[in-house]
Structure 1
Amino acid sequence: MKKTLLYSLAALVGLSFASCNGDYDDWTNPQGFGQENAITIPGFAATAAGDVNLANPGENVKVFNLSEAALPEGTELNKTRMIITPTDEAATYDLPQILEANNDGTVDSTALQTAVVKAYGKRPAVRPFKVHVYSDVMANGQALLVDAGEININVTPKAPFISKAYYLIGDFNDWTTDVNKLAGYKFSRSDKDVYEDPFFTFTVTTTKNDQCWKIIPQENLDANNIWQQGVVGTAKDGSTDAEGTLVTDNPQAGKIAEAGTYVITLNMIDYSYSVVRADSYYMVGGVYGWNAESAAKVAFYNESGSKASITTQWTGDANLKIWNRAGIG
């Protein structure tokens, strides 16, 4: 029976795949997602390997299994790919995507992560997909495109925890553990999902030098326990860096070295921060002049986050430039 089936496969290769040979190089770039020339082999099919969680996946993740034992004698698997299509109405990109796969049913975790985020965004929720698997089967030195069938999988993308709100605590508010007082130091943000817009900003004014700070998530306020697990800080204690990485494992205090008004911006999708002095930018030009002394008269006022403005009376021409505070002179 196996020899008969092998001869039949070879005949199909000759009739339908005369142009295919070797490694069938163009299989990763089909003209469309339909596979009109693919055939089926009795018993050769893909089965789902279970839900996929990309939180700590390693290099490859298991998505499906292939019944290689069903292949006729003298044939072997060469390449495999899967076409994934989101099946939930929550998808913002509902077109099929092609991913290369290994014959053992594993897929590069980074490629799968990218595909899930493209379809659904970065929120770490279970995301359903329809998966169609195709394999290259080699027979008598020629490649035969075989349809291994369709499966359904659920994938949870990798994403860091992001609280719905954060609060600034430090020397400037006496490290208060009073939830009501700390509420006045809430970071502002848009009304978008935190995984689509992970930026939080707060403008703080310090009247003394060397003011230290940390970040408290909403969950700690809800539990009425400010210092429970989840506090966010810098990796190095007393860091005065204008930007850096945030950590929740043994978080240390950042430091604002010089008194003034500062905008602290958090990017919680990659746990990074920046501390920018609110009067960091000045305008020079036709208003007062082009030198450093003139610039010091026209400082931008920070409104919120990365937005700053100037209101002034124009007395000269409309030419202007923006001067960074650190670069004046």
Structure 2
Amino acid sequence: MIKKILLGMTLLMSMVACTEDYTDWGKPQTSSPEEAVAFGDNGSISAVQAINLADVTTTTVKVANIVAPTGGSGYKASEFQLTLGGASLNMNEAGEVSTEELQNVIVTNYGKAPLQREFTAKALAWISNGHNSVKIESGSITVQATPKAANIEQAYYLAGDIFADGYNKDVVMAHAFTHSDNNVWDDPNFSIEVKVTEANKSFMIIPASSLEKSDIRDGAFGSGSEKESLASNGNAITIEKAGKYIITVNMEKLTYKIEAKPATLFLTGSEYNWGKTESDWKQLIQYNGSDETFWTMIYFSEGEMFKFAPQAAWADDFGGGITIEDNAGSGIAADGSNLKVGKAGWYLLRVTNGKERKLEVCKPEVYLVGDVIAGGWGAGWEDKAKTDANKFTAPTTKNGLFVSPKFANSGNLRMYVNFPDTGYKDPNNNWWKSEFNVIDGNIVFRGNGGDLQPVAVEANQQVSLNFTTGKGEIK
């Protein structure tokens, strides 16, 4: 067995990963090879000129010029390594390492941006005379290398017939994808939110460089040969249904994803700190089956001001310009860009946020339905359940309780808020489209989901609701 003798200092090499600005990545980088440094007896090593891995097409790349170390009594170098960036790479006598491994070292230490990076490196060699083996360590050299990076531009835009005149340069530039604060190589994902008003509308992705071409579709990305893949000068991508979508593209992998955006609507105003923080927005409940209609049960003070926005933040907010249908004598009316309450009290609101925006102000009516009412489900299907016997009493104060009649039967509790067009046979306005229940002491809304968890109750119990706190009690 060959006896190995370790010579030289123990190698302590580690590089701290860092993040650098990428805006100058395209500037030419140059360097001059350093003077050769000692590499054992009669050996030397020097770095080659700066390496750009984008230009390397072979599986190995030369990083150093080596004169192999020798020793007396027939010692000859038989194995080489290069240590840099906290890694040890196998190296041949020609000073070549794996192209892939060098790429990985750069990315691990610095990220994927195509910037020239510097490493302090040392070479190791094992020289052997067939009986004994000796480890030789070189002096330090500086290896400069730029990683191979995907061809990603700094900005992308959405174009297509999803917009009027959707290939006009000015229209396209108004629909830029958003990106994180990271550089585009370490985070190649871009996204945009878009509202599609008609079915079967299409889009393409325009890189910033195409904006200067006579036809901005030259170089645009469309659908590739694989599902959800992108290709330069591919076909336009079609969205089959109208709605709000988030389109995300990965410009390194050249893939795309289209996701329907969950429909939301929020209210803020003078009683809600005018939306200064996210918690100052009251979320409305989605009317089941609609991406545009929402509802809430709310107490308003006289003179209270409010408005709506599709998210818990100031953007695309609306109020004063909305069509108002007041069925409850609230006196709600436009006041500039806001809405103002004329009469204090509890109100049931239904808001449509579509091509047209509409506010329906309704009486605060809540009803029982199903097992627990006299006549059970049969009464409901005969459209006879909307009676005072099944109606909750409504409070007059903000923290007052809506209280149900006592349950006529044992069974599963079901209840809903009632709009003027709520019915049992109308598929567009069935009672369950505004259904809710009390689960573990909380008012839980059906929203756009399916049946809620069953809640078993006993005859002669009743339920109390506090819509201000979102709490309920069955006793």
Flag whether TM exceeds 0.5 (same fold). yes
The equivalences for 1:7-156 within 5 A come to: 20=4, 32-33=11-12, 40-55=39-54, 56-68=56-68, 74-85=74-85, 96-156=86-146
Question: In structure 2, which of residues 422, 439, 448 is the aligned counterpart of residue 316 of structure 1?
Answer: 439
Which has the larger displacement, 128-137 or 55-64? 55-64
- Asked if the contact 1:61–1:107 (Cα under 8 Å) also holds between the matched residues in 2, the reply is yes
Which has the larger displacement, 169-178 or 70-79? 70-79
Counterpart Cα distance in 1 of 2:4 and 2:71: 19
- Asked if the contact 2:288–2:448 (Cα under 8 Å) also holds between the matched residues in 1, the reply is no
Provide the secondary structure at the position in 1 that maps to 2:148.
Answer: coil
CA RMSD between the two structures: 4.0
Deviation at 1:315, TM superposition (A): 4.7
Question: In structure 2, which of residues 156, 172, 180 is the aligned counterpart of residue 166 of structure 1?
Answer: 156
- Asked if the contact 2:188–2:250 (Cα under 8 Å) also holds between the matched residues in 1, the reply is yes
Question: In structure 2, which of residues 252, 258, 265 is the aligned counterpart of residue 269 of structure 1?
Answer: 252
- TM-score under structure 1 normalisation? 0.66
- 1:186 aligns to 2:168 (yes or no): no
Question: In structure 1, which of residues 218, 223, 233 is the aligned counterpart of residue 222 of structure 2?
Answer: 233
Provide the secondary structure at the position in 2 that maps to 1:171.
Answer: coil
Q: Deviations over 1:62-116 (max 9, x none)?
A: 111221386668333322111214xxxxxxxxxx332222332211122211110
**Aligned equivalent of 2:236:** 253
Counterpart Cα distance in 1 of 2:131 and 2:311: 69
Aligned letter for 1:79?
E
Provide the secondary structure at the position in 2 that maps to 1:83.
Answer: strand
**CA gap 1:141/1:258 in 2 versus in 1, 3 angstroms:** farther
Which has the larger displacement, 116-125 or 171-180? 171-180
Q: Deviations over 1:7-34 (max 9, x none)?
A: xxxxxxxxxxx9528xx9xxxxx97528
Aligned letter for 2:197?
T
Deviation at 1:224, TM superposition (A): 5.5
- Asked if the contact 2:73–2:129 (Cα under 8 Å) also holds between the matched residues in 1, the reply is no
**CA gap 1:19/1:72 in 2 versus in 1, 3 angstroms:** closer
Counterpart Cα distance in 2 of 1:218 and 1:259: 27
Counterpart Cα distance in 1 of 2:73 and 2:253: 51
Deviation at 1:172, TM superposition (A): 1.0
Deviation at 1:295, TM superposition (A): 7.3
Aligned letter for 1:201?
S
- Asked if the contact 1:44–1:71 (Cα under 8 Å) also holds between the matched residues in 2, the reply is no
Deviation at 1:235, TM superposition (A): 1.4
Aligned letter for 2:176?
K
- Asked if the contact 1:167–1:185 (Cα under 8 Å) also holds between the matched residues in 2, the reply is yes
- TM-score under structure 2 normalisation? 0.47
Provide the secondary structure at the position in 1 that maps to 2:126.
Answer: strand
- Report how many residues are paired: 262
Provide the secondary structure at the position in 1 that maps to 2:139.
Answer: strand
**CA gap 1:296/1:207 in 2 versus in 1, 3 angstroms:** closer
- Asked if the contact 2:113–2:149 (Cα under 8 Å) also holds between the matched residues in 1, the reply is yes
**CA gap 1:155/1:84 in 2 versus in 1, 3 angstroms:** same
- Asked if the contact 1:205–1:261 (Cα under 8 Å) also holds between the matched residues in 2, the reply is yes
Counterpart Cα distance in 2 of 1:77 and 1:302: 71
Provide the secondary structure at the position in 2 that maps to 1:172.
Answer: coil
Provide the secondary structure at the position in 1 that maps to 2:178.
Answer: coil
Provide the secondary structure at the position in 2 that maps to 1:162.
Answer: coil
**Aligned equivalent of 2:280:** none
- Asked if the contact 1:58–1:109 (Cα under 8 Å) also holds between the matched residues in 2, the reply is yes
**Aligned equivalent of 2:415:** none
Counterpart Cα distance in 2 of 1:54 and 1:303: 45
Aligned letter for 1:114?
N
Counterpart Cα distance in 2 of 1:135 and 1:209: 67
Sequence identity (%): 25
Q: Deviations over 1:187-221 (max 9, x none)?
A: 11223322233221112222333222211112222
**CA gap 1:131/1:31 in 2 versus in 1, 3 angstroms:** closer
**Aligned equivalent of 1:200:** 190
